[in-house]
Amino acid sequence: MNKINPVPLYHKLYTEMGPQHWWPADTKIEIVIGAILVQNTNWNNVDLALNNLRRATNLEPARILKLPITRLQQLIRPSGFYVNKAKSLVSVLTWFTEYHEDFTGMVARYGTKLRQQLLKLPGIGEETADSLLVYVFDQPTFIADKYARNLFGYLGFQRIDSYAKLKQQIILPADFSSRDAKEFHGLIDEFGKQVKTRAQFQTSFLGHFSLKEAGI
């Protein structure tokens, strides 16, 4: 299977749209919580749930873990699927507190197996694991979310109808930094929020952009 070098697309998006400074959060723990709450919902609902949690616990993992599970469910209810998300929050935050939220130490501990370890946690799928790798652990990886799959589909690529299929085709160069990965994901998602149909894509600044498979 040919691989895709997405860097020219990243440069085009960055030139046209500028830096996005994603993820919208003040701390890495807030990113962790937000990455779980945003599953299958929009960010407006996540904001409501985050604000509830912030008022009740200041988003401190120890205080969240002391909450009765029914209280935690009530606080995050605006994000939807609150029963499963509460279970996931407890499991994930427990894991992070075991390492004293030492993200650098966790990278050193697990190395290339960190993604595999994240996927073992309840409620953590491929997209959430990659989001945590990029935004919490500062690892340069590609987040093949729905916006990315739509964009690469508009660009004419095939075999990208699932998260894993697109991710398998993407190859990032060795000098692609974690900052680049964060900006690239933010740019793709912001573009996707503005360009929702193929007709809109064709009249956008990417309408005549060509990105070829690298043949690697």
User: Domain check: are 99 and 116 in the same one?
Assistant: yes
User: Domain check: are 121 and 56 in the same one?
Assistant: yes
User: Domain check: are 33 and 131 in the same one?
Assistant: yes
Asked if the structure places residue 209 within a domain, the reply is no
Per-residue pLDDT at 95: 97
Contacts of 8 (CB under 8 A, 6+ apart): 211
Q: Which of 91, 107, 135 is the last residue of a domain?
A: 135
Question: ∠ CA(51), CA(114), CA(121), 5° rounding?
Answer: 55
Per-residue pLDDT at 214: 54
Per-residue pLDDT at 216: 44
- The identity of residue 86, as a single letter, is A
pTM of the model: 0.94
Per-residue pLDDT at 1: 59
Residue 164, classified by CB atoms within 10 Å of its CB into exposed (0-12), middle (13-18) or buried (19+), is exposed
Per-residue pLDDT at 2: 74
User: Domain check: are 178 and 164 in the same one?
Assistant: yes
Number of domains in the chain: 2
Nearest Cα to 168, choosing from 139, 144, 190? 144
For every residue of 149-166, DSSP letters joined together read: HHHHHHTT--S-SSHHHH
74 phi, psi to nearest 5 deg: -65, -40
Asked if the structure places residue 59 within a domain, the reply is yes
CA dihedral 59, 51, 114, 136 (to 10 degrees): -90
Residues paired with 4 in a beta bridge: 170, 213
Q: Which of 82, 112, 135 is the last residue of a domain?
A: 135
Report helix angle 126-135 to 28-37, nearest 10.
160
Tokens (6 digits) for 15 = 């030139």
User: Domain check: are 38 and 104 in the same one?
Assistant: yes
Asked if the structure places residue 211 within a domain, the reply is no
Tell me if residue 170 falls in helix, strand or coil: strand
User: Domain check: are 34 and 126 in the same one?
Assistant: yes
Tens digits of pLDDT across the chain (216 residues): 578 999 999 999 999 999 999 898 899 999 999 999 999 999 999 999 999 999 999 999 999 999 999 999 999 999 999 999 999 999 999 999 999 999 999 999 999 999 999 999 999 999 999 999 999 999 999 999 999 999 999 999 988 999 999 999 999 999 999 999 999 999 999 999 999 999 999 999 999 999 876 544
Q: How far apart are CA 202 and CA 120, in angstroms?
A: 40
Asked if the structure places residue 57 within a domain, the reply is yes
Domain encompassing residue 90: 28-135
Asked if the structure places residue 216 within a domain, the reply is no
User: Domain check: are 88 and 183 in the same one?
Assistant: no
Asked if the structure places residue 1 within a domain, the reply is no
User: Domain check: are 92 and 179 in the same one?
Assistant: no
Per-residue pLDDT at 159: 87
User: Domain check: are 38 and 121 in the same one?
Assistant: yes
User: Domain check: are 58 and 127 in the same one?
Assistant: yes
